[in-house]
Amino acid sequence: MARLALWLAVAALASAGNAQDAAPPAALPDIAFCNAQHVASEDDPLPGDPVSIPKAFDRVAKSSPTELALLTQWGKTICDNNVWVSAIADMAWLREDRLLGWEWQGFEAYGYRVFDRAGNGVVIETGARPVFSPGGTRLASVEYSESGFGALNGYGVWEVHPDGLALLGGDASAFEDEGETARFTEPEIFAGTYGEWSISGWKGETCVGIAMRDQDGNRTTFHAAESAGWRIATGPCP
């Protein structure tokens, strides 16, 4: 359930929380506002202690047992559901003071989130730390495992706009139907190709290389090109 909710957040390019539209600019992220906005679910685990935020980022991010409050460049707070997160690690600026990224872990779940502070602000799930194109205009990430505990379980390509991030393409595992008829569907190219997936690099701004190394150390090369609608295919970038 947590993975599905996180991928829907990526596909919709929407924060898991809400923008503080009517509030004046604030000097600090407003965790009280986010706590008040939180909507509990019967599937939520019992809340634990707030995750620890590195002191270097305490003017940008605040946490509670249920929410993460994040401050945009315009001084507004947006909220990210933090119920399933038990730890945050390697929080770092990915681009100046605009793109903030961090690894997160939870109960049988893990991933990587990127907070874009531009415009209204948005949090996206990239599964693993993304890799930027040479010109810095695009970023790509891949994360896939046999366990399915990763939050992305697929790949994605995004473009950096002046006021936000735009999802250009990608594919990720998802649930079909509901209840007892629900089944987990995987991107076709990932089926039966379990191993360590990674972004191997970019060819200019229009093609990203993807690699998979299996348990025997064999390496298989893939790519996703703009000319092919960013669909992943075997072989290197043309």
User: For the segment 193-208, what is each residue's pLDDT rounded down to a tens digit?
Assistant: 778 999 999 999 999 9
**In the numeric block, which tokens belong to residue 86?**
């038990």
- The arithmetic mean of pLDDT across residues 64-83, rounded, is 95
Q: Where are the domains of the chain?
A: 2-192
- H/E element, 162: none
Q: Is the pLDDT of residue 13 over 60?
A: no
CA nearest to 2, candidates 74, 63, 82, 90: 82
Helices (H) and strands (E) in the chain, counts: 2, 17
Task: State how far the Cα of 140 lies from the Cα of 143, in Å rounded to an integer.
Answer: 10
List, in sequence order, every residue forming a beta bridge with 151; answer none if it has no partner: none
Interior/surface letters 206-236, b for 16+ CB within 10 angstroms, e for the rest: ebbbbbbeeeeeeeeebbbbeeeebebeeee
At residue 182, the pLDDT reads: 66
Q: How far apart are CA 68 and CA 173, in angstroms?
A: 25
Query: Is a pLDDT exceeding 80 seen at residue 26?
Result: no
Residue 47 pLDDT: 73
Give 120-147 pLDDT, tens digit per residue.
999 999 999 999 999 999 999 999 987 7
Based on the number of CB atoms within 10 Å of its own CB, is 128 exposed (0-12), middle (13-18) or buried (19 or more)?
buried
Which of 92, 45, 85 lies closest to 63 in space, CA to CA? 85
| Percent of the chain predicted with pLDDT > 90 | 67
108 contacts 74 by C-beta, under 8 angstroms? no
Q: What is the mean pLDDT of the chain?
A: 87
Residues with Cβ within 8 Å of residue 128, at least 6 apart in sequence: 111, 112, 141, 142, 143, 150, 152, 198
Long-range contacts of 218-222 (CB under 8 A, 24+ apart): 220/193, 220/195, 222/189
